[in-house]
Amino acid sequence: MTDPTVSFDGEWVYYSHFHDMKGASVSQGPAGGADIYKIHVKTKKIVRLTQQVFTPNTGAANWSKDYRTSEAGKNHFEYGVFNTGPCPLPGGKLMFTSNRNGFKPPSACRTSCNCS
C-alpha cells in the first residue's frame, strides 16, 4: 500500500495497492500493476475504485489482442496498469495518475534525463 490520502470529510482514506510484488524491481514494476482503493475509517469497509483496464490508442500501434500477451509482430505491455497517487477533489471526485493509455517515453528518455 502507498499514497494514503484522507478525504475532506475525514471519513475515508484513499490509497494505491500494488498487486503481487513478486519479481518486481526498480526497472520493472510488479506485473499486476496497482489500483486505487478507499477504506472507511469507522467501519473499515474497503472499496476498489479502479480496475486493470488498458485504454491505449488502438491506431497508434499494432497491439496484441489483450495488450498484455506477447504475439509475434505485435506490441504488448509486460506489466499491468498503474493507477496511483489518489487525490480527493471537491464534490466527491477523485484525481489520480495512470498509465492506462499506454504512453511510453522514447527509449532515450528511459535511460537519460536530458529529454526536452
pLDDT in tens, the chain (116 residues): 899 999 999 999 999 999 877 766 666 667 788 999 999 999 999 999 999 888 877 777 888 888 878 889 888 887 788 899 999 999 889 999 998 887 665 554 444 444 44
Burial of 41 by CB count in 10 Å (0-12 exposed, 13-18 middle, 19+ buried)?
middle
- Decide: pTM greater than 0.85: no
Cell 514494476 identifies what position? 29
pLDDT for 35: 95
CB 77 within 8 A of CB 67: yes
Terminal alpha carbon distance of the chain: 33
Q: What are the DSSP E strand ranges found in 1-116?
A: 2-6, 12-18, 34-40, 46-48, 83-88, 94-98
